[in-house]
A and B are shown apart, each in its own frame.
Chain A
């Protein structure tokens, strides 16, 4: 008998636990239904941790500004004084739910599912690396949840992702062309392109660069490594043997930084260019003191002459102690694009309606330029900047979107 009792008590306690868990997962009890749950997926730890940190800081700053200016309102049925239901405008509240994708593709997909199913997020924001965003976009497409990537530039992302997905940065077709034209304008006709085979971003950017560079009469050789590599001696040697006029490192800062450092002797004096994947506050520390001139294309430079950029950079530095990189500015802008869509949307809690409003975004003024998503690929056409690396990232010049 005691044995039976014990067995039953176990069953009961398991049931109670299960019920407890269920009730937690349900309505969050704010009653009015005016909380917009925004799932944010970023690499907060791991090889791309500075991207996550900067993007999240940018979002915090944006949230502060949005709340100060007053969040958009939605119509809600509330009980009036006379007991009748009346319609009333209530400002929505934003609940940013941050999830760490740990700089891995798999975790990005897992967190997207958890946010869609577990947290019933109304919209997703993220991530940075293109192959990680691809996983999130897949889930967004299947579950028909709107998703905006702040910083993923790979060309095919939004095409594969479908109508619920969009981004607020330029794509690599443009970035590759910017870099190719920049290299040619400096008189560099022979380029060695170093590509990370394991990253969609790196492969795509390399190919886009090649297309424009070759058309304009330049010659290109390709060399490969993989994301897991830490010894780059061989790829460095191959590049050096090619004797290029410029070296294009299409990849992320955690690999390219140490690569340039390891190439201190063999690439001595050669100019190096890269994409926005190198835009990280850690990049300079990883590279160390080398004799190369390093330029990269990016979305934003903290010391660019525009007054709105300067004001943002100053506020960001006062708060976080560091100059903002491109990811910070994009993190800031993405929340404004979302709020602009929410403002125009009659029911932002409806996935389809919110996605439609995001698709219709036109001319939102951001720190990184003017953002219009009203096109086939839901990708804005924006200016790029060329940044020079010297104990941090220094503004070099601006490249217009049309040019």
Chain B
């Protein structure tokens, strides 16, 4: 039973990230009936912006007691990532989707596929296709603050000048865990030109996943309230039911659609940072498979429904984790190598049994 619970929790963590992306899919679909295939790319761009914020802005050096600098570091990264993804989504909507909105759903769908490929390839050109390691936050200390046995490994960055005059940063392990920094060691470090050492805070994925679940619990009701209780939400629902009638009632449809794209991508940007922190790397293709899975999650939950997207994400994550585990217990050794196939097979089963998804409402055709 304990083992089942482990796999169940792993699935929940994965599902939370699917749910974050699925929210955007479902909101956009709910209003303009567009399956926004570029959504996974908004997620990817968010992840990159978060990556650069964490790597380059040195927010972790803020003079506050630990762990506030690290929390601040992540919060700023998440905010920048979410804003960047949101702004990109609004621009995409304005430049690519709005011109074809009247041309029918197939045209819009194909445009979305095109935008997705375009963004992937632009990212590949701008940021290269290389896999980048997630920059772990650091806790900096001067040598004065280090004495006695070190609680963790301590590293130092030093500049190294090549024969061509390029300066390269080199990381070295200067004090290993448990080693005592006595005056002799200190003199040696100073002689090596080390002024400042740091500790690498490698977050356990479990901790990150717990934060992601927490954020989901926080965000889902906010989004739900936004749609159900605010004026903008009312306008969204009106536009969703009948865009032309809503326009006649004085609702600015363009504004409503842009706001929807922004909110959906904003949430995906948060998911992007959560994703790279959990899985430890970023590359231009990270939006593809999670984007596809999130789409599946949105469909399983009932596309157009916000609680459905979250439910679908969590169910998909758990299925991907628990189902192969059960199959493996039954004697299929390589079940985990088939988990994507299993996830998509599950989608087909759900659609056969309930074509509108778990929480989806049956579509009423206007005659």
Chain A residues with a Cβ under 8 A of chain B: 45-47, 49, 102-103, 197, 222-226, 228, 230-231, 233-235, 237-238, 241, 254, 257-258, 261-262, 264-265, 282, 284-286, 288-290, 317-322, 390-392
Residue of A222, A233, A261, A318 contacting most chain B CB atoms (<10 Å):
A233
Q: Are B130 and A234 in contact (CB under 8 A)?
A: no
- Output the least CB separation between B327 and chain A (Å): 12
Q: Are B337 and A319 in contact (CB under 8 A)?
A: no
A223→B325 CA distance, assembly (Å): 12
A392→B321 CA distance, assembly (Å): 34
Asked whether any CB of chain A lies closer than 8 Å to the CB of B355, the reply is no
Residue numbers in B under 8 Å from A241 (CB-CB): 3
Q: Are B129 and A391 in contact (CB under 8 A)?
A: no
Residue numbers in A under 8 Å from B144 (CB-CB): none
- Output the least CB separation between B36 and chain A (Å): 22
Give the contacts of B319-340 with A (CB-CB under 8 A).
321, 324-325, 328, 333-334, 336-337, 339-340
Residue numbers in B under 8 Å from A289 (CB-CB): 136, 152-153, 199-202
A317→B168 CA distance, assembly (Å): 10
Give the contacts of B293-338 with A (CB-CB under 8 A).
321, 324-325, 328, 333-334, 336-337
Q: Are B133 and A285 in contact (CB under 8 A)?
A: yes
Asked whether any CB of chain A lies closer than 8 Å to the CB of B160, the reply is yes
Partner of B162, one of A235, A237, A290, A319: A319
A319→B161 CA distance, assembly (Å): 9
Residue numbers in B under 8 Å from A233 (CB-CB): 10, 13-14, 205, 321
Task: Name the residue on A nearest B130 (C-beta).
Answer: A49
Asked whether any CB of chain A lies closer than 8 Å to the CB of B206, the reply is yes
Residue numbers in B under 8 Å from A284 (CB-CB): 171
Residue numbers in B under 8 Å from A265 (CB-CB): 204, 206
- Output the least CB separation between A15 and chain B (Å): 33
Asked whether any CB of chain A lies closer than 8 Å to the CB of B7, the reply is yes
Residue numbers in B under 8 Å from A264 (CB-CB): 202, 204-205
Asked whether any CB of chain A lies closer than 8 Å to the CB of B214, the reply is no
A258→B204 CA distance, assembly (Å): 11
Asked whether any CB of chain A lies closer than 8 Å to the CB of B21, the reply is no
Q: Are A286 and B206 in contact (CB under 8 A)?
A: no
Interface of chain B, main secondary structure:
mixed
A223→B337 CA distance, assembly (Å): 9
Given the known A-B contacts A223-B336, A241-B3, are A46 and B10 also in contact in the complex, defined by CB atoms under 8 Å? no
* Tally of A-B Cβ pairs under 8 angstroms: 122
Asked whether any CB of chain A lies closer than 8 Å to the CB of B266, the reply is no
Given the known A-B contacts A391-B171, A391-B173, are A231 and B14 also in contact in the complex, defined by CB atoms under 8 Å? yes
The interface-forming segment of B22-30, B186-194, B278-286 is B278-286
Partner of A392, one of B129, B171, B205, B336: B171
Asked whether any CB of chain A lies closer than 8 Å to the CB of B230, the reply is no
Partner of A49, one of B129, B176, B333: B129
20 A-B residue pairs with CB within 8 Å? A45-B129, A49-B130, A102-B129, A222-B333, A223-B336, A231-B14, A234-B324, A254-B131, A257-B133, A257-B280, A258-B279, A262-B280, A282-B133, A285-B133, A286-B280, A288-B134, A289-B136, A289-B153, A321-B168, A392-B171
Task: Name the residue on B nearest A232 (C-beta).
Answer: B279
- Output the least CB separation between B194 and chain A (Å): 13
Q: Are B155 and A234 in contact (CB under 8 A)?
A: no
Residue numbers in A under 8 Å from B170 (CB-CB): 321-322
- Output the least CB separation between A301 and chain B (Å): 16
Residue numbers in A under 8 Å from B176 (CB-CB): 390
Task: Name the residue on B nearest A45 (C-beta).
Answer: B129
Partner of B130, one of A45, A197, A321: A45
A321→B130 CA distance, assembly (Å): 19
Q: Are B279 and A262 in contact (CB under 8 A)?
A: yes
Q: Are B321 and A234 in contact (CB under 8 A)?
A: yes
Partner of A290, one of B133, B202, B286: B202
- Output the least CB separation between A280 and chain B (Å): 10
Asked whether any CB of chain A lies closer than 8 Å to the CB of B163, the reply is yes
A289→B289 CA distance, assembly (Å): 28
Residue numbers in A under 8 Å from B172 (CB-CB): 391-392
- Output the least CB separation between A311 and chain B (Å): 15
Residue numbers in B under 8 Å from A392 (CB-CB): 171-173
Task: Name the residue on B nearest A288 (C-beta).
Answer: B202
Partner of B155, one of A226, A258, A321, A391: A391
Asked whether any CB of chain A lies closer than 8 Å to the CB of B6, the reply is yes
- Output the least CB separation between A315 and chain B (Å): 9
Q: Which 8 A-B residue pairings sit nearest by Cβ, starting from the closest?
A: A321-B168, A288-B202, A258-B280, A391-B173, A285-B133, A233-B10, A49-B130, A289-B200
Given the known A-B contacts A224-B334, A264-B202, A288-B200, are A49 and B339 also in contact in the complex, defined by CB atoms under 8 Å? no
